[in-house]
Structure 1
Amino acid sequence: VVSSFDVWTGIVGIVKLGTPKVDESRLSEKDRQPLDNFSVYMGGRAGEKEIDAGLTWAFTKDEQGNLSKQRNAWRPFWRNETWNNAPAEKQFYWYPGDTVQMAVIVAGPGKLRLVIADATPQPKRVFQIEFDAKTFAPNTPRQFKRVNAIDQFGNEGKPVQPTKAEVTGAEWLQTILLRGAGADAKQLPMDKTRLTDMRCSSEKHIVVTATDAAKGAEKIDVYGTPKK
């Protein structure tokens, strides 16, 4: 979903993370890794630039620095001019069923801040970073978004490839748009009056069950192949 264009200063949500399932028949010839991946993220648009920031399904490293053979945890990323990841360290890994707070907030002229943390009173895992987002200038109308997606490697700009990959069990418990700065920012629920549903490629692939529309709360299951 995407917000209207306005002088929004950020988006904040609480999400229970879903469980990915890969399509074992769609593997790369090069490294035998799945050609589909998964992400749950926020971001925005100002001027002609789009920014993505949130969690992607990723490889992890163990205490000895050995890389996992498969992607097995949700890890922070942000994409501005380049793609960037949080360090491969256990304090920055989240797992299916974990509930996290995610925020993308204007941090100054041409700057955004990504914050991801356990959605608990005293979070043990917290990641935050400020990064360049040059078009997010003062008084520039901007749009914020919230996305649950299956991504296909090497397929940008092409038709979606058939896949049985899916990610199920995700639930947004609330989503808030911010207007204003700091402690004085107004918090407005991202309800139907402030958003556009952008389900691509079809509503059969992304099944949304509203749980509390006034809070911007809903369950989201994403299927590469729609369930009958």
Structure 2
Amino acid sequence: MNMALKMTSCLAFFCFCSCGNGKVTEDIVEEDPINTFFKDETRPFAQKCFDGAYYRKAVSGKDKWLGIGGTVVLPQIEFDENRKNPNKPGQYLDNPSVYLGGNMGGQETDIGLTWEVVKESGVVSQERKAFRPFMRRTAHISGQEENYANAPAEERYYWYPGEEVTISIQIVDDYKLKFIVDGAGKRFETDYECAGYKKGNIGEFKRVNAIDQVANEGKPVQPTQTLVKNSCWKETYLFRFYKDEVVKAPMHKGRFTDMRCPDSIYFDIDASEEESSKGSECITINGGGI
């Protein structure tokens, strides 16, 4: 490589990272918008934490996204034995979850996996023993009511700590999200009616790892020693329509707001630059602090 060409290459790389106060140059965008930024893509913005849980959220900017997906290793769990649920023997007041979701048309969704009870020989267990798919939506101005639903309590829909799954939600038809969990030889797939979600509408999508707390929504987090560790996202991507097809745009760190709530002291997030470029990271949440 001659010196002039080498210098041009170095300047191009520097400009990709640094020019325009953090904005990617138009030339780079035109070359590879899927892995950098689309020409008209809206950047993410700072958002405030909401009380009630310990959670790590990565949330996109508001744009014409069609959904979100990724591959994740489910976390290992160590519960705080001093936080048992007095109303439900065998259960705790902390509950881990790994989920996706979004906000479009004024409607919020949380869709993914939560630590749940199972059926054993036809009897519902007292303890929560596996991750099961769940779906939750808020009410919509159209009149659609809020809703919460679970996958059936069947062995084919149970996932366990350490298992790797691919999970996604995608607008496949107007007002309908396709939800898929696939991994460890099991698969759950369903369409979930969401009146606010329509192709071409502006909205945001999120990825969340959390320690939820029973009957604590909207309140300050309760002190706990519960540890939810080593949940590793291998990749995360946003669905978008580009050049007449739906593509998967990596949710790199320029495409999401990094939220660690209620405070960063409860989180250990590990990712190299290469891993960050494809939405990959390992997450540990420790209620006792890192």
TM-score class normalised by the smaller sequence: over 0.9
Mark the runs of 5 or more structure 2 residues left unpaired by the alignment.
1-57, 138-145
Q: What's the offset of the Cα at 1:224?
A: 1.1
Measured after TM superposition, the shift of residue 24 of structure 1 is 1.3
The residue type paired with residue 87 of structure 2 is K
How many angstroms does 1:59 deviate by? 1.1
1:96 partner amino acid: P
Query: Does residue 141 of the first structure (1) align with residue 197 of the second (2)?
Result: no
Q: CA deviation at 1:67?
A: 2.2
Instruction: Quote the offset at 1:28 in angstroms.
Output: 2.2
Q: Which residue of 1 aligns with 2:225?
A: 164
- Among candidates 100, 104, 114, match of residue 46 of structure 1: 104
Q: More displaced, 171-180 or 206-215?
A: 206-215
CA distance in 2, matches of 1:156, 1:169: 25
- Structure 1 residue 68: deviation in Å? 2.4
Aligned equivalents of 1:61 and 1:16: distance in 2?
24
Whichever residue aligns with residue 212 of structure 2, its letter is: D
Structure number with higher helix proportion: 2
2:59 aligned with 1:2, yes or no?
A: yes
Match of 1:18 among 57, 62, 75: 75
Q: Secondary structure at the match of 1:34?
A: coil
Moved over 4 A (4+): none
Deviates more, 1:203-212 or 1:33-42: 203-212
Q: Which position in structure 2 is the counterpart of 1:226?
A: 289
Where in structure 1 are there 5+ consecutive unaligned residues? none
Report what 1:82 is aligned to: 147
1:138 offset after TM fit, Å?
3.6
Distance in 1 between the 2:278 and 2:197 partners? 26
Whether 1:35 aligns to 2:98 is no
> Are the aligned partners of 2:66 and 2:171 in contact in 1 as well (CA < 8 Å)?
yes
Structure 1 distance, partners of 2:218, 2:93, is 15
- Tell me the C-alpha RMSD between the 2 structures: 1.5
Work out the CA distance in 1 between the residues paired with 2:188 and 2:226: 28
Q: Report if aligned partners of 2:76, 2:228 keep a CA contact under 8 Å in 1.
A: yes
Q: Secondary structure at the match of 1:204?
A: helix
Identity of aligned residues (%): 41
Q: Distance in 2 between matches of 1:105 and 1:170?
A: 23
1: CA distance, partners of 2:156 / 2:205: 27
Cα distance, 1:93 vs structure 2: 0.5
CA distance in 1, matches of 2:118, 2:196: 33
Within 5 Å, give how 1:85-124 maps onto structure 2. 85-118=150-183, 124=185
Deviates more, 1:85-94 or 1:132-141: 132-141
1:148 shift after superposition: 0.2
- How many residues matched? 221
CA deviations on 1:165-203 (whole Å, 9 max, x unpaired) are 12101000000111028x921221000121110111111
Q: TM-score, normalised by structure 2?
A: 0.73
TM-score, length of structure 1 as denominator length = 0.93
Q: Which residue of 1 aligns with 2:263?
A: 202
